[in-house]
Amino acid sequence: MAKLKTLEDYREEIGQCVKCGCCRAHCPAFGAVKHEGRVARGKIALADALLKGEVEMEDRFLLDMSQCLLCGSC
């Protein structure tokens, strides 16, 4: 059986975001509300903060992470 991945398994990918913000132009979730937590850059920043223990999985965190259409545009 395949091992479930953890956030730690994505540490390298998380570190590859250069924070250019180009994903903002292509994200329908961000386009609807103009909130950084809804776009890939913001979600990656949240994941990074979670890895570093700077945030917890509280309601706002979970809301931002869940608001994604998985469209792949970013």
Residue 26's CB is within 10 A of a number of other CB atoms, namely 14
Q: How far is the CB of 38 from ligand SF4 (least distance, A)?
A: 7
Q: Show contacts with ligand SF4 in window 1-40 (CB under 6 A).
A: 17-23, 26-29, 39-40
Q: How far is the CB of 69 from ligand SF4 (least distance, A)?
A: 4
The residue assigned the tokens 């329908």 is 28
The footprint of ligand SF4 (CB under 6 A) covers 17-23, 26-29, 39-41, 44, 68-74
